[in-house]
Amino acid sequence: MANVRVIEIGESVFAENDSMAAANRKQMKDQGTLFVNVMSGPGSGKTTTLTAIINRMKNDYKIGEMDVDIESSVDAQRVADATGVEALQIHNMGLCHIDADMTARALAQYDTKDLDLLILENIGNLVCPAEFDVGAGKNLMLLSVPEGDDKPLKYPLMFTIADVVLINKIDTLEYFDFDKEAVVDRILKLNPNSKIFFISAKTGQGLDEVVEYLKDEIAKVKTGK
C-alpha cells in the first residue's frame, strides 16, 4: 500500500471564514493551481470518480489531493493506491464540514506550489460543506442516479454554490426512477451557470468531457484569465 499521511484538524478558531477563504483562493490562483472543492452525499462515488480523473490527467499535469473524513483514512489510501498521487488525509474530528481556516492549516502541511490541480475531497454531506467557502477556485459536486432526481429540491444551497455538477452512476439509469431532464431543470433553476455532466466513474462514460473542462480551467488559472 502507498503511504498516506494523516493530520487531525478540529474546529476552527478563526471566525472570519470568508476572508480566510479569499486568502486561500488568492494563494492558489497566484501560484497557478486550480483548486477544486469536491462535495456530495455519502456514497455518490467521489473517490472512484476522482481516481479515474486523476489517472486520465496525471501524465500531463501535477496533481494533489486532500481527503476529508471524520476519522478514517480509507479515501486518501484508495486515491494514493490507485493513482500514485501522494494524498493527504485530513481528519476533521467529528465535524460535518471543513472551513477555510482548517483548509489553510491543511495547505500549510501539503506541498502545493508546483501543482496544476489540487483536489479537496470534502466530507460526504449535502448540508454543511455548502455553508463553508474553503477558498476553492471551483466548487464541484456529485449527485448519483440512485440518490434520486429530487435532491436539488431538498439541498438547494449545495446546488446553488456548485459551479459543476457531475451526475454519476449514469450506467444504472435503467434500474432507478430518475428523470434526467427534471434534474437538469431543477439544478439550472438554482444556478443557471452550472455546468452539468452525466458520467459513470465505473464505465468511464462522460469522463473525457470532465477532463477537458478541467484542462480548460487549469489553462485559465495559468494565464490569469
**For 51, phi and psi rounded to 5 degrees?**
-60, -45
Q: Is residue 173 within the footprint of its own copies (CB under 8 A)?
A: no
- d(CA 215, CA 119) in angstroms, rounded, equals 14
Least distance from its own copies to the Cβ atom of residue 27, Å: 28
Alpha-carbon torsion (194, 60, 86, 19), positive or negative: negative
Q: Which of 23, 153, 184, 211 binds its own copies (CB under 8 A)?
A: 153
DSSP class per residue in 161-210: H-SEEEEE-GGGGGGS---HHHHHHHHHHH-TT-EEEE--TTT-TTHHHH
Query: Which residue, 21 or 169, has its beta carbon nearer to its own copies?
Result: 169
Q: Is residue 156 within the footprint of its own copies (CB under 8 A)?
A: yes
First-to-final CA distance of the chain? 40
Q: Which of 11, 14, 43, 216 binds its own copies (CB under 8 A)?
A: 43
Q: Which stretch binds its own copies (CB under 8 A): 5-13, 133-141, 144-152, 191-199?
A: 144-152
Least distance from its own copies to the Cβ atom of residue 187, Å: 15
Site string for its own copies, 65-104 (x = CB under 8 A): ----xxxx-xx------------------xxx--------
* Grid cell locating 164: 459543476
184 - beta bridge partners?
none
Interaction site with its own copies (CB under 8 A): 41-43, 69-72, 74-75, 94-96, 123-128, 131, 144, 146-148, 150-151, 153-157, 169, 172, 175
